[in-house]
Structure 1
Amino acid sequence: MSTKHPIVAITGSSGAGTTTITRSFQHIFRREKVKAAIIEGDSFHAFDRQQMRQKMKEAEETGDQHFSHFGPEGNLFGELEQLFATYGATGTGKSRKYLHDEAEGAAHGQPPGTFTGWTDVDEGTDLLFYEGLHGAVVTNRVNVAQHADLLVGVVPIINLEWIQKLHRDKNMRGYSQEAVVDTILRRMPDYVSYICPQFSRTHVNFQRVPVVDTSNPFTSRDIPSLDESMLVIRFANPKGIDFPYLLSMLHDSYMSRPNTIVCPGGKMGLAIQLIFTPMILRLMGNREQATM
């Protein structure tokens, strides 16, 4: 953790909805004039798209049916922790970009599914903002979570997470349903070992719970909308959280536990703004004092 160079990390698995949270944070940064270094978790995968396919094939040939992007073998956890540690100490560090599609590849003159070279994070940023799979990961070799000043988990119930992944990978990436289901099954051991434990280390968790039938996610034709969901917001440490204010601003919300608010899913964007704007301003205030 660092007062001068704070780190905010949004963590959640593929299909969880971290992009929605990230968009809301970017609104906060723009409104409050906070210059953030944006880091995508995909940048710290160990292999590019073609290499990953080859590694999975090799793993299957040796009887390993669970090699995935969720576990340590498929990622550069050491480099990610080094970035967090270096940024916290100096305000910079090494990162790169994963080129997801043709447009991103063309912008860098490279094929999609590859990485750019490693470069230094721009100097003069106010904070580092990470969005990806492993912002709070801890193994017997690395502890990424210890370096973050604000950790946010995005954790829809598992059926909703699968529905979102199925729709995204089928409609946007052209995968068959069978291929997506195979991916879900292959990742499950690493999901249990490396993704789930992170949500016990986060400061705030956002869990979306549909109020429509998602009992068989593999036959669902539509992704339940925010208005068809409730949002469970859990604070690891409720001290200093103005719950009466949040309840008054989030219509039809209530507290289910002393550290948990439940509100309509359609209020998600507002909830993020209300909860995290004061936290970001507090980080910036502490940073300003530390640099005087």
Structure 2
Amino acid sequence: MSTKHPIVAITGSSGAGTTTITRAFQHIFRRENVNAAIIEGDSFHAYDRLQMRQKLKEAEAAGEHSFSHFGPSGNLFEELAQLFAAYGERGTGRCRKYLHDEVEGAEYGQAPGTFTPWADLQEGTDLLFYEGLHGAVVTDRVNVAQHADLLVGVVPTINLEWIQKLHRDQNLRGYSQEAVVDTILRRMPDYVSYICPQFSRTHVNVQRVPVVDTSNPFIARDIPSLDESMLVIRFADPKGIDFPYLLSMLHGSFMSRPNTIVCPGGKMGLAVQLIFTPMILRLMSNRRQALL
């Protein structure tokens, strides 16, 4: 953790609304004139797309059926921890970018599914903003979570996560349902060991819960929308949270526990801005005081 060079980490997986939440944070940064260094978690995968396919084949041939992007074997946890530590100390660090598609690849003159070269972050940024799978990961070798000043968990219910993956991989990537189910099962040990525990270390969790039937995710025809969901927002430390204000601003919301507010899923972007704007402003105020 660092007062002069704060780190905000959004940790979550597909189907929860990480894109909506990241966009809401970008609105906060733009409105409050915060110069943020944006880091994507995919940048710290251990292998590019072709290498990962080869590693999967090798793992299966060796009888290893739990090799995945969710665990340490498929990621560079040490390098991620080094980036967080370096940014907290000096406001810089080394990173790269994973090129997801043809558009991103063309921008850098590289094939999609590859990484750009490692490079130093631009100097002079106000904070580091990470969005990915492992912003709060802890293993017997590294502790990424200890470096973050604000940790936000973003997670769907497990059936919703599976529906999201099934639809994306079948419709956009051309995989069979059997192949997608195999991936889900292969990832499960790492999901249990490295993804779930992070949400006990976060300062705020945002969980998307569908209010339509998702009891059998393998036959779902559509991905439940935000308007077909409720958000369960849990604060690890509710001290200082203005719950009456949030309830008044988020129509249809209520409190289910003293540290938990529930609101309509369609209010996700607004809820994020209402909740996290004061927190970002507090980080920036503390940063200015520390730099005097």
Q: Taking structure 2 as the reference length, what is the TM-score of the superposition?
A: 0.98
Describe the superposition over 1:101-141 as per-residue Cα deviations: whole angstroms up to 9, x where unpaired.
Answer: 11111111111111010000100101000000000000000
Match of 2:172 in 1: 172
Match of 1:202 in 2: 202
Matched to 1:130, the amino acid is: Y
- What is the alpha-carbon distance in structure 2 between the residues aligned to residue 241 and residue 159 of structure 1? 31
Describe the superposition over 1:199-258 as per-residue Cα deviations: whole angstroms up to 9, x where unpaired.
Answer: 000000001111110001111111111111111000001011111111111111111111
**Correspondence 1:146 to 2:146:** yes
Cα contact 2:6–2:127 (8 A) shared by 1: yes
Matched to 1:172, the amino acid is: L
Moved more, 175-184 or 117-126: 175-184
- What is the alpha-carbon distance in structure 2 between the residues aligned to residue 169 and residue 250 of structure 1? 34
- What is the alpha-carbon distance in structure 1 between the residues aligned to residue 20 and residue 177 of structure 2? 24
**Correspondence 1:132 to 2:132:** yes
Once the 2 structures are TM-superposed, how far is the Cα of residue 70 of structure 1 from its aligned partner? 0.4
- What is the alpha-carbon distance in structure 2 between the residues aligned to residue 167 and residue 33 of structure 1? 37
- What is the alpha-carbon distance in structure 2 between the residues aligned to residue 233 and residue 182 of structure 1? 31
Matched to 1:12, the amino acid is: G
- What is the alpha-carbon distance in structure 1 between the residues aligned to residue 164 and residue 48 of structure 2? 24
Match of 2:23 in 1: 23
Cα contact 1:16–1:164 (8 A) shared by 2: no
Matched to 1:158, the amino acid is: I
**Correspondence 1:74 to 2:74:** yes
Match of 1:263 in 2: 263
Number of corresponding residues: 292
Cα contact 1:254–1:261 (8 A) shared by 2: yes
Describe the superposition over 1:132-158 as per-residue Cα deviations: whole angstroms up to 9, x where unpaired.
Answer: 000000000000000000000011110
Q: Taking structure 1 as the reference length, what is the TM-score of the superposition?
A: 0.98
Once the 2 structures are TM-superposed, how far is the Cα of residue 178 of structure 1 from its aligned partner? 2.1
**Correspondence 1:122 to 2:117:** no
Cα contact 1:156–1:208 (8 A) shared by 2: yes
After superposition, residues 1-292 of structure 1 pair within 5 angstroms as 1-292=1-292
Matched to 2:86, the amino acid is: T
Moved more, 198-207 or 159-168: 159-168
- What is the alpha-carbon distance in structure 2 between the residues aligned to residue 132 and residue 209 of structure 1? 20
Once the 2 structures are TM-superposed, how far is the Cα of residue 176 of structure 1 from its aligned partner? 2.4
Once the 2 structures are TM-superposed, how far is the Cα of residue 13 of structure 1 from its aligned partner? 2.3
Cα contact 1:204–1:235 (8 A) shared by 2: yes
Q: Among all aligned residue pairs of Structure 1 and Structure 2, give the percentage whose two residues are the same amino acid.
A: 86
- Where structure 1 has 5 or more consecutive residues not aligned to the other structure, the ranges are none
Cα contact 2:15–2:155 (8 A) shared by 1: no
1:182 is paired with a residue whose SS is helix
- 4+ residue runs over 3 A deviation: none
Cα contact 2:155–2:207 (8 A) shared by 1: yes
Matched to 1:29, the amino acid is: F
Cα contact 2:91–2:125 (8 A) shared by 1: yes
Once the 2 structures are TM-superposed, how far is the Cα of residue 15 of structure 1 from its aligned partner? 3.8
- What is the alpha-carbon distance in structure 1 between the residues aligned to residue 142 and residue 180 of structure 2? 30
Cα contact 2:163–2:217 (8 A) shared by 1: yes
- What is the alpha-carbon distance in structure 1 between the residues aligned to residue 21 and residue 175 of structure 2? 25
C-alpha root-mean-square deviation of aligned residues, in Å? 0.9
- What is the alpha-carbon distance in structure 2 between the residues aligned to residue 85 and residue 174 of structure 1? 40
Matched to 1:121, the amino acid is: L
Matched to 2:249, the amino acid is: M
Describe the superposition over 1:67-90 as per-residue Cα deviations: whole angstroms up to 9, x where unpaired.
Answer: 000000100000000000000000
2:33 is paired with a residue whose SS is coil
Cα contact 2:13–2:156 (8 A) shared by 1: no
- Where structure 2 has 5 or more consecutive residues not aligned to the other structure, the ranges are none
Matched to 1:285, the amino acid is: S
- What is the alpha-carbon distance in structure 1 between the residues aligned to residue 227 and residue 54 of structure 2? 42
Once the 2 structures are TM-superposed, how far is the Cα of residue 269 of structure 1 from its aligned partner? 1.0
- What is the alpha-carbon distance in structure 2 between the residues aligned to residue 19 and residue 171 of structure 1? 19
